[in-house]
Each structure stands twice: as C-alpha cells, then as structure tokens.
Structure 1
C-alpha cells in the first residue's frame, strides 16, 4: 500500500506546487492567466500570514501528487470560519485512487473551528462538479461577483465618457 500524506506545504514544496499549478491552468483554462510570480507571491503570503490560509500538498511515496490552496474568512451568515478551496489539483495519474477524496477530507478537518468549506468549479467542468457533489458539496444559491480596480476604472471611464 502506498504511503499517502496530506499536510500543509513547506517552502521545500514550492517548486512542485508551481509545476502542478501551471498544469492546473493548462487543464482548466477558464478565468485569469497564471504565472510563476503569482504562484510564488501566494505561497510567500500564506507562509507569512498562516492565519489567512495555507497551501497544502498530498505526498504519495515521497512524491507530491497534488496541492490545494485553502483560504479562511469569518462569515457572519454562517456564524463562523469558512474555508475556501481557492485551488485544488491532483495529478492525472493519481486520480481515481481515492487520493482526491482523502485530500478533501484533510482540508475539511484542517481546523476544528471551520463551519464549512466552499470551492469553485468552472461551469463547463461537469465532471468535477459531479465529483464534488458525490462528496457532499452542493451549489449555493447566491452568485459570486467580483470587483477589480483595474477593470472597474475602465468600465467607469466608458460609462462616464472619459478617455482612457
């Protein structure tokens, strides 16, 4: 039987997380582009601010075969700390072996004070959505909206008639 370990990432895991993160963004090309600078800034930020979240790895027989980025925030609505799985990835060769399910359980139990765990799935990724549903994740009624200063300013300029 393989030796499987789910644990918070260490600085020595960063290069493997970078590689897997790039692979995730090749496989699921919806949303923002990814580069090594963003990945390293995220890992460094989480290492410096562990109260805000953690990067995690799944290591099988000494080899990193998956990673996750878990962010925490307090929810008034749910009356406690929610975790958001910002990213999760398991190498294709390790899928179908129960590693992903074990990884989710590890994240769900990463803190005793979590009241829930959220994650996003690309709308067209029905396979992933069904996989998460079989593990107890349900769609939430509210729709997520996002504000970004660089895009908001362009939109305001076009609405207000200002030149860009």
Structure 2
C-alpha cells in the first residue's frame, strides 16, 4: 500500500467529500455534506490559502490530508497547518500516515514553505507517536488556541 500524494482537483471532490465525512464521523464533527463540499471545493479549484492531497491511488484513495497556508515572522515566511489527516480504518497501522507526513514537506518545500504545524489531542498517545515519527515536536511553551467567528 502506497502513501503517494496526489494534489486533489475538482474531479476528486466526491471522493474527498466521502473521506472527509468518514473522518468527521470518527471525530464526532457534525457537518452537512453541503458544508463539507463548500469547505473543500475552493481548495481543489486553486484557492491560494490551502491544498488537499489524496493519499494512495487517486481512483481509490485510502485517505487525505488538508493543508492551510499562512505566514510566520518567527519561521521566516510561508508556513502551513495540517487541518485534517485521515486514513481509512482498514489500512491503518501500516505506516501510511507516517509516509504521507514525511512526503508532505518535500511536496510543499518547492513552494518556499518554512514550517508545518498541526494540532493534536494531548490524550491521543497514538497520534502523538505518529507525529513524532514524522519529525513533528511539541512546542512546550505554546498552546494552540482558537476563536470561532
């Protein structure tokens, strides 16, 4: 099983929406398919604020990753936040997520990306191990905070 990344395009919207719905069901995120599609479609149409990648073969993807771009003075330029990462349950535990997370910086570095960030539940030891294997490290002094508008 390969964790090859394919930049998602408008023709992938249905597959990506289905994967996203499965992720949201796993995480208890309540969102309509219409809202999901509205959040994903601009990324597939070239919106400059983020991208979505299919993981695995584009005809039958086994997961996806959404990356949103920003700017950081501290990191010296363009940075990104991994907004969502999902691997189908039937293929988890095979190193696919680790492989995708290691391939992601290579895919984005050509565009001048300086740092990638992510948020993880402090209680999710399995996810924390995954992210550490892929080179991510906690910033002990900092806590990710949000305000919904």
**TM tier relative to shorter chain:** 0.7 to 0.9
Comparing 20-29 and 71-80, the one that deviates more: 20-29
**Which of residues 99, 123, 129 in structure 2 aligns to 1:102?**
99
Q: Who wins on radius of gyration, i.e. which is larger?
A: 1
**Which of residues 91, 94, 98 in structure 1 aligns to 2:88?**
91
The 3 A distance-change label for structure 1 pair 82 and 3 is closer
Structure 2: runs of 5+ lacking an equivalent: none
Distance 1:7 1:133 in 2: 23
Distance 1:97 1:49 in 2: 31
Q: Determine if contact 1:8/1:54 at 8 Å carries over to the other structure.
A: yes
Distance 2:38 2:79 in 1: 23
Aligned to 2:42: 45
The 3 A distance-change label for structure 1 pair 12 and 133 is same
Distance 1:77 1:66 in 2: 31
Q: Determine if contact 2:13/2:41 at 8 Å carries over to the other structure.
A: no
**Which of residues 51, 54, 58 in structure 2 aligns to 1:57?**
54
Structure 1: runs of 5+ lacking an equivalent: 150-164
Distance 1:61 1:68 in 2: 13
What's the TM-score once normalised by structure 1's chain length?
A: 0.78
What's the TM-score once normalised by structure 2's chain length?
A: 0.85
Q: Which has the higher contact order (CA 8 A, sep 6+)?
A: 2
Aligned to 1:76: 73
Aligned to 1:27: 26
